Each structure stands twice: as structure tokens, then as C-alpha cells.
Structure 1
Amino acid sequence: MWRKISAVVIPTVIAVGILAYMLWRVWDDLVITIASAHPLYLAAAVIVCTAAWFLRGWRYRAILGGLTVRVGLIFSTACIFLSQTANLIVPARLGDLVRLFILKHERLATYSQGFSSIVVERVFDVVTVAVLGLLALPFVLDVPDWFLPLIAVPIIGGIAFALFLWFVGDRHSENRILAVIYRIFAEIRAVSLNLQAVLILGASSIAIWLVDIAVCTVVVLMFGEWIPFPVIVLAVVIGNLVKAVPITPGGVGTYEFALAVTFELAGMAPATATVIAVVDHLIKNGVTLFGGIASLYYFGDWSVSLMKRSFSEGISREELREP
């Protein structure tokens, strides 16, 4: 029991501590900075952020289609909303497991199909973000030395993972655990390692992250700031790559810190950089939470108990077997 409590409490305390430190060091300038905000930009940022979610839903629908799981756009978007809402509460991105149960309950998909779809989505997300950061680097001056390896590692890792899947090929095993692993490899390879999939998933991933960057751009404009677009791209890239390490639920605290540091390195005032980072993430998490609540109504009451069961019991070996 204490292990489960500490797994939630400790990451939450870390997130609150990071945010508290960031706000404390610029507290005297916060009121002036917030007073300069233009409220209309807030509505625009929310609309743009919502559009990004439906783009994510469209891409996830395409991924599931490659796994022979047919769903609609609303269904696929609701799946992502619900799992990402869970990620705001549960550490280590365990909220993603909610999708496995939704797909099993609603579409009779296997757990391996659900897991494979999440892996494909995550790989395309991380690699796309890193590539956008790599493209932005030449246009940003005085970039810290640690930015390059942070961006290069996901790209190299993505290439290595693709090569690994390619050379593993189609394998089978009598061992139940190995059979599941080989099946997941085969599913990931089938849905991602072909020209059509790379073009569709790659193009949609770029569109998703450009829209995500557009949200941050609108927030920058909301506070009357002007900063080169490549700097905003790099800030969002660094923020999301740092957030990808599941230190805190939803990357709260770590994302804001990375975003603010990048803006400050580009010459932005610390108070303004902090407020922009906090508001940007607050908008994105707020839309996520609203979408997650709406998704609970969409799926019905069973989804609440299903989420609880997924975290309290986990997935057994028997459940991982093909139906």
C-alpha cells in the first residue's frame, strides 16, 4: 500500500517543488507580467490545442487501422484523451494502459494490439519532436552543448529500433511470454515499417507537433512578446523531450522548467519565460482534462471501473493471450 502511495506522492511533490521554485524566483515580476496578457489569445490557444488533439485522434485511428482494429475519429480521440488524463495523475505514463482495456472492451482487440499501437505512437512522437529540434538548431544562437545530445539520442534510438525490428523478422516461440513479445514486434513492424505508413504517420506527426508549437506561439503573443519561431520550436522540443522522461505525472514541472530555461537562454526575461511556460502547459493539460472528462461520458460508466482495475490489478499473463 505504502509503495503505491509513494509512487504517486513522490512524483507529485517533485512537480509541485519545481513549479514553486520557478514561481518563487520571479514572484515580484509575476503580477506585472500577467497584467500585460491579452485574453483573446487564450481562446485562440485553446482552439488550436483542441485541433491538435483531433489530429492525434486521426493518426491513432490510422495506427489502429494498420492493426486491423477499425474505429472512428471520435473513438480514437477519446481513447487518447482518457489515457492522457490518467497520465496527469499516475506516474511513469502508466495511464497509457487504459487504452488497452478500452480497445479490449469496445473492439475486442488483443492487449498486444493495444500495446503495439501505443509504442508506434510514442516512437513517432519522440522522433518527430527530435527531428524538428534538429532542424531548428542552426537558426538559434548560443545553444547549450547539452541540447544536441538530447535531440540526437531519440533520433538514433528510433533508427536503431527500426533496424532491430527489420532484422528480427517474423519469429515464433512455444514460450508464452516470448510469443507475446514476438507478436508485438510483428505488429509494430506491420503498422510502421512500410512506405505508406511512414508517409502517413510521419506527415501527421509533423502536423501534430507544428500545431502544438503553434499553441506555444499564441501564448507568447498573448504576453506581448516577440521571439523567433525557431526558438519557440526548440523550446517546445526540449520541453517535450525532457517531459518524455516520466519523472512527474504529465511532465508537470519538468516541462515548464525546460521551456522557461530555453526562453531565458534566448534573452527573454525570467518572469515572462516562467509565466509563458506555465500557461502553455496549463492550457494543454486543461484541454486534456476537459477531453478526458468528456471521454468518460462517451464510453460510459464502465470506463471508470475499468481504469481503476487496470491500475489495481495490472495485466495478467492469461489476459495477454490471444482471445
Structure 2
Amino acid sequence: MLRKISTLLLSTLVAGVIIVFLLSRVWDELLITLHEADPRYLLAATLICLLAWYMRGIRYRYILMRLSVCVSTTFSTACIFVSQTANLIIPARLGDLIRLLILRHEKETTYTVGFSSLIVERVFDIITIALIGAIALPFVVGQTPWFSLLIGLVLIAGLLFFLVLFISGRFTSENRILAKIFEIMAQIRSVSLTPPALVYLLFSSVIIWIIDCLVCVMVAMMFGETVPIMVIVLAIVIGNLVKAVPITPGGIGTYELALAMTFELAGVAPGIAVLIAIVDHLIKNLVTLGGGALSVYYFGDWTLSLLKRAFSGDIRGELRDRD
């Protein structure tokens, strides 16, 4: 228990130090800019963020349908909301595992089905982000070479993943662990490796991340800043790729640092860059928390107990049980 608490405190401390560092550099400029902010764009950003969540729910419903799990869009959206809310307080993205237990409890699915659905969602998110970033790169002046390296490595990793996914269908194994891995690979292939499914998942993922970028556009406009759209796109891409490495809960601190750094490299004033980064993530996290609270009410009180077990680390023990 002490080790679990220490891990949580350390990751939270890292997030806090980064945020304080960013604020301390531009505090006076931040106060002036906040005073002049237009709240109408804040409302627009919040509504757009909600739309992105709804689109995520539609995509996840499709993924589950391909795995022969029939749910409503409300159910699929609520499922994502609960797991992402948990990720805001639990290190190492262990909140994602909550989704497996929700599907098991509500739809009597196996853990492998839940895990496969999660992998498909994550893979298409990461690959889509990298593709959008690759398109934005040539239009952004001042970006550093490691941006290209990071995006290129992600795209290569995605290509290798699909290559392994394709050839894994030729293998079988009597080993229980390998057999389970091949089962998950087969489920992922059934979801994503047909032309209609590939087109649907890529198209819906592109829409989701364009909407996510529009939230940041509204935040910039709220502070009266005209930031080139490709700069915002690249910042969101770099921020989410950095956020994918679970250093802090919900990527708090690391996401803001990546966004602010990208904005500054592209010529945005430091104060504005920090403010846009912090408010953008704050809106997305508050919408996540609000949606998570409503989703707990939607699923019932048992999900509160589930969140408590996830926070204490007991959730991993439950997932070790056989399907």
C-alpha cells in the first residue's frame, strides 16, 4: 500500500511542479490576459469538447459491435467517461482497465474482448494523431527536428503493429498465455482489418481529433489570439503523444508543457502559450470529470466501489482471474 501511495504522490508532485514552473514564468502576463478573456469562446470550447466525447462514444460503439457486443451510444460514451475520469487520479493509465470490468459486469463479456476493444481505440487514436501531425509539420515554422522524429517513430510503430497483427493469424499455440495473445490479435483483426472497418475507424478518428483541435482554437480566440490552425494542430499532436507516456495522472503537467513549448517555438508569446495550454487541458479535464460523474450515476453505485478499488490498485487482482 505504501508503494502505491508513494507512486501516486510522486506522479502528482511531478505534475504540480511542471504547472507551477509554467505559471511562474509568465504570472503577470497571465493575469492581464485572463482579465481580457471573452467567456463566449469558453462556452463554445466546452460544447465542442462534449461533441468530441459523443463522437468517441459512436466510434467505441462501432468497435464493440464488431466484437459482437451490442450497446447504445450512451453506454459506450459513459464507459469511456468512467475510465478516463479514473485516469485523472490513477497513475500509469490503469483507469483504462475499469472499462474491462464495466463490460464484464454490464454485458458479460470476457476480459479479452474488453482489452481488444481498448487496444483498437488506442491504436487508432495514436496513429491518427501522428498522421495529422505529419500533415501539419511542413506548415509550422520554428518546430524542432525531434517533432519529426517523434511523429515518424509513432507512424513506424503503427505500421509494425499492423504487420504483426496481419501475420499473427498464421500462428497457434498450446501455451495459455500465447493462446490468449493470439485470441486478442484475432479479435483486433476482426475489428479493424477489413476495408470498411479500416475506413470507418480512420475517418471517425480524424473527425474526433479535428474536433479536439477546435477546442484549442476556441481557447486561443477566447484570449484574442489568432494562432495558425496548423500550429494548434501540431501542438495538440505533440501534447497527446507526450501525454500517452503515463508520467503523471491524466498527463497533467506534461501535456501543458508540450503544448506551451510548441506554441512558443512557433512564435506565440510565452504568457499566451502557457495560458492556452492550461485552459485547453482544464476544459477537457473538467468535461471528463463532469461526464464521469454522470456516467457513475448512469451505471449505478457499484461503479463507485469499482473506482475505489482501482485507486487502491485492487483492480489488477480482479483482472488476473480467468475469463
Q: TM-score range by the shorter chain?
A: over 0.9
- From the superposition, tell whether residues 67 and 255 of structure 1 become closer, same or farther in structure 2 (CA, over 3 Å): same
CA displacement 1:163-184 (0-9 Å, x = unmatched): 0011111543333222211111
Aligned to 2:121: 121
Aligned to 1:225: 225
- Distance in 1, matches of 2:175 and 2:244, equals 32
CA displacement 1:192-217 (0-9 Å, x = unmatched): 11111110100000000000000000
- Once the two structures are overlaid, the 10-residue window that deviates more, 180-189 or 280-289, is 180-189
Answering whether residue 104 of structure 2 is matched by residue 104 of structure 1, we say yes
Aligned to 1:209: 209
| Kept after mapping to 1: 8 A contact 2:142/2:267 | no
- Distance in 1, matches of 2:265 and 2:178, equals 48
Aligned to 1:319: 321
- Stretches of structure 2 lacking an aligned partner (at least 5 in a row): none
Aligned to 1:252: 252
| Kept after mapping to 1: 8 A contact 2:83/2:99 | yes
Shift of 1:315: 4.2
Aligned to 2:148: 148
Shift of 1:318: 6.2
| Kept after mapping to 2: 8 A contact 1:90/1:249 | yes
Answering whether residue 197 of structure 2 is matched by residue 197 of structure 1, we say yes
| Kept after mapping to 2: 8 A contact 1:92/1:248 | yes
- Distance in 2, matches of 1:314 and 1:236, equals 31
The number of residues matched between the two structures is 321
| Kept after mapping to 1: 8 A contact 2:41/2:221 | yes
| Kept after mapping to 2: 8 A contact 1:170/1:182 | no
Shift of 1:309: 3.5
- Distance in 2, matches of 1:38 and 1:306, equals 40
- Distance in 1, matches of 2:315 and 2:205, equals 33
| Kept after mapping to 2: 8 A contact 1:45/1:219 | yes
| Kept after mapping to 2: 8 A contact 1:170/1:186 | no
Matches within 5 A, 1:165-204: 165-204=165-204
Partner of 1:169, secondary structure, is helix
Shift of 1:10: 0.6
| Kept after mapping to 2: 8 A contact 1:112/1:320 | no
Matched residues, percent identical? 57
- Once the two structures are overlaid, the 10-residue window that deviates more, 172-181 or 264-273, is 172-181
Shift of 1:307: 3.0
Matches within 5 A, 1:1-323: 1-310=1-310, 311-315=313-317, 319-321=321-323
- Distance in 1, matches of 2:261 and 2:309, equals 39
- Stretches of structure 1 lacking an aligned partner (at least 5 in a row): none
CA displacement 1:20-64 (0-9 Å, x = unmatched): 000011112111111111011100000000000000000000011
Shift of 1:317: 7.1
CA displacement 1:132-174 (0-9 Å, x = unmatched): 0000111111221111011111111111000001111154333
| Kept after mapping to 2: 8 A contact 1:128/1:202 | yes
- Distance in 2, matches of 1:261 and 1:191, equals 37
Partner of 1:96, secondary structure, is helix
Q: What is the alpha-carbon root mean square deviation over aligned residues?
A: 1.2
CA displacement 1:218-248 (0-9 Å, x = unmatched): 0000000012111111111111111111100
- Distance in 2, matches of 1:308 and 1:179, equals 32
| Kept after mapping to 2: 8 A contact 1:110/1:320 | no
2:192 counterpart letter in structure 1? S
- From the superposition, tell whether residues 280 and 271 of structure 1 become closer, same or farther in structure 2 (CA, over 3 Å): same
- Distance in 1, matches of 2:309 and 2:285, equals 24
Shift of 1:4: 0.6
TM norm structure 2: 0.97
1:312 counterpart letter in structure 2? D
